[in-house]
Chains A and B, each alone.
Chain A
Amino acid sequence: MSRLLIKHGRVVDPTQRLDEGLNVLIVDGKVARLAERIEDKDAQVIDATGLVVAPGFIDVHVHLREPGFEYKETIASGVAAAVAGGFTAVCCMPNTQPPNDSAAVTEFIRARAAEAGLARVYPVGAVSKGLEGEELAEVGEMVRAGAVAFSDDGRPVHNAYLMRRVLEYTQLFDVPVVDHCEEPTLVAKGVMHEGAVATRLGLRGIPAAAEEVMVARDVVLAELTGGRVHIAHLSTRGALDRVREGKARGAAVTCEVTPHHLALTDQAVADTSFDTDTKMNPPLRSPEHVDALIQGVLDGTVDCLATDHAPHHADEKALEYDLAPFGVVGLETAVPVTYDLLVRKHKLPLRLFVALWSSNPARLFKLPGGSLKVGSPADITLLDLNARATVNPDRFRSLSRNTPFAGQRLKGWPGATVVGGKVVWRRERK
């Protein structure tokens, strides 16, 4: 019997409304006991003095790039980055090569993840064969192989008929459909948010409306079908309003917001003078959108946070702004960026912050974990809220370095990561 005892920590568990000093005993990979005093001389002991003990953080939106783009990231490097960022589980998007549109690819991803260990990996299957938006993929086969949600991420499900049918069909399995919402004809050749900054820089803009028209459509289709729509990387005020209205009418619509869309504005493109690490899709928005997103987090309209971790090789990013690929890495900066912004600056209660990263995503994607209740898998994130550090991409575990946060000094970092009762990562203490 393997035993782990986490002592002297501040346990914050939204699923039990807990925020108090408790010891946590883990036996055979499961939470066995929570109490003010636990002594167990057979257990490995972690001294969590000064640390927050939270349900393991889950990132429901990452790109691990394997199979097909192993020069950007592999499943092994991706989970190493995840645990170093405080994440115990990730959901990986299907836009690999070949895409994850069949049980065989889903099984391959699961097998690679099992070899890599460290974090848990939950594959997201493709909605359509080849991500081409025309034929429904074998959703049921992929569910059997371990897929937890469906998406053509990187692209929207542009065909409304297909979106309607997948929202109906997936109800057989009770899994969400995750949509990357953008109307391609409105995006046109845009590379950053359409607004005064893009105009001054002479870069083609992506209007907020490109996202909003498709979110509006998805909310309507969720109501029509009763299916579950999860809006990926929501980034505009109008899109948030559509989700808020949909929820009020009882539609099964949820949404995630990324750290970069909360912490940065389109001004970053000008301030960095065309640094391609500010290029992602959806693009960094103007302050009125960013303010609305922060408000949406504070008022509970935003269901969870997710990174949209999108590794790209340095050679690919060292191109003209128009030619560089969209995307930034996020796993190793997400916790400090969001803690610093939401809890320290905007006074989001810590319990809600923890929920946005753990219990909420677990509930939306029906994943094990996200709770420290007795009997739950012992996936635990320890947070060192007093730690201050500067983001240094050279120390990333990810194979890629494309972050817009390099050089930022942030407070509130992960301290250790426990998956299935094993300590898989600990922060080096100076």
Chain B
Amino acid sequence: MTVKAAPRLRGKDLVGIDPLSPGEIQLILDTAEQMRDIAQRPIKKVPALRGKTVVNLFMEASTRTRFSFEVAEKRLSADSLNFSASASSVSKGETLLDTALNLEAMQPDFIVLRHQYAGAPHQLARILKSSVINAGDGAHEHPTQALLDALTIRLKRQTLEGQVVAIVGDLQHSRVVRSNILLLSRMGAKVRVAGPPSLIPVGMDAMGCEVYRRMEEAIAGADVVMMLRIQLERQGRMNFPTVREYYDFYALTPERLKLAKKDCLVMHPGPMNRGVEIDSRVADGPQSVILEQVTNGVAVRMAVLYLLAGGNGEPAAD
């Protein structure tokens, strides 16, 4: 199956991969490929979103995702505002809804929301007129991460179809794994996931993947291995014994990587815990595309902003 790109995005928001059709995913990836070229020009800026206002509403700490959105917004000539939880009215007891309504009263075109609780962007999208872009909600979705991962694979392999992608780590608390399962399975890739049995949520296979306990089985013959950050700050001390033991059973080491295909890509959404879920020899090795993921993140976020603003086809040249 070759997925034909949709002519446009149907919704006003990007709250997750789940509501997207394969055609819409294809459209975003195709557009992102064109956006990549802008970064190669001497003047890395197009006027596509001139006069548009974007609020980056980050209710949970994030550096990489927020910077990536900001760079994307600036390259499209949008005006960006940053709102972070620490400096906000949240400490004064204002609800998310009131915060969002106050920001909306200043008539932004986009609200990019990062939030620690699942569903927050969906709840806001129902009420706000602006386009809501989910920059990560709890353990639910992180759609632009999955899109940039898909773009990275597609650029290396020309297609997602038939690719065997193994995702390893804390499946319970990861929004990255959820968005990736939905996107990759929808685009014809074969997704395997693996992690400690105490961190495998019930019924994850129903999302479109095969579930393994031993990472060796999941990565055997894989085209892509994606390692998840073990979120030490979100764990109690009952889910797995120690970081040391975690490395023993679930770290991507050069030895384990040999089980995958010879040219298998190594990915990680960052920030990495070196020596915990990934060995530096692999993270910095020839198969790693981890920094390319970061580069592609900007292109994907430009594409999403551009398409939600009503653009289709060729982005306006400067």
Contacts and interface: CB of A to CB of B under 8 A. Distances in A.
A222 B126 CA distance: 48
B216 interface: no
Interface residues of A, number: 21
B232 interface: no
A315 B94 CA distance: 12
Contacts of A200: 18, 178, 203, 206-207
B117 to A, nearest CB: 4
Given A318-B95, A323-B117, A274 B201 contact: no
Contact of A273 (B117, B122, B139, B203): B122
B120 A320 contact: yes
A118 B11 CA distance: 49
A60 to B, nearest CB: 33
A195 interface: yes
Nearest to B97: A318
Contacts of B126: 273
Contacts of A201: 118-119, 140
Contacts of A203: 118-119, 138-140
Nearest to A323: B117
A273 B120 CA distance: 10
A319 B95 contact: yes
Contacts of A318: 95, 97
B101 to A, nearest CB: 11
B184 to A, nearest CB: 15
A199 B140 contact: no
Interface in A304-362: 315, 318-323
Given A202-B175, A320-B117, A194 B202 contact: yes
Nearest to B137: A202
Interface residues of B, number: 25
Interface string A137-168: 00000000000000000000000000000000
B128 interface: no
B202 A196 contact: yes
Given A274-B123, A318-B95, A320-B123, A199 B202 contact: yes
B302 to A, nearest CB: 26
A318 B139 CA distance: 20
Interface in B120-144: 120, 122-123, 126, 137-141
Contacts of A196: 202-204, 206-207
A198 interface: yes
A83 to B, nearest CB: 34
A200 B141 CA distance: 9
Interface in B185-208: 201-204, 206-207
Interface string B73-96: 000000000000000000000011
B interface SS class: mixed
A199 B118 CA distance: 11
A202 B139 CA distance: 5
A430 B115 CA distance: 48
Max chain B C-beta neighbours (<10 A), residue from A204, A274, A323: A274
A199 B208 CA distance: 12
Contact of B138 (A205, A273, A319, A322): A322
Interface string A178-212: 00000000000000001111111111110000000
Contacts of A197: 203
Contacts of B96: 319-320
A321 B140 CA distance: 12
A320 B201 contact: no
B120 A199 contact: no
Contacts of B203: 195-197, 199-200
Contacts of A202: 118, 137-141, 175, 178
A322 B59 CA distance: 14
A274 B118 contact: yes
A205 B122 contact: no
Nearest to A202: B140
Nearest to B173: A202
B119 A320 contact: yes
Contacts of A319: 95-97
B194 to A, nearest CB: 16
A331 B138 CA distance: 34
A322 B139 CA distance: 12
Contacts of B201: 198-199, 205
Query: 10 tightest CB-CB pairs across the interface, nearest first?
Result: A196-B203, A202-B140, A274-B119, A202-B139, A320-B117, A202-B118, A199-B201, A196-B206, A322-B117, A273-B122
Given A202-B140, A320-B123, A321-B118, 5 more contacts: A273-B126, A319-B96, A321-B119, A321-B123, A322-B118
Interface of A: 194-205, 273-274, 315, 318-323
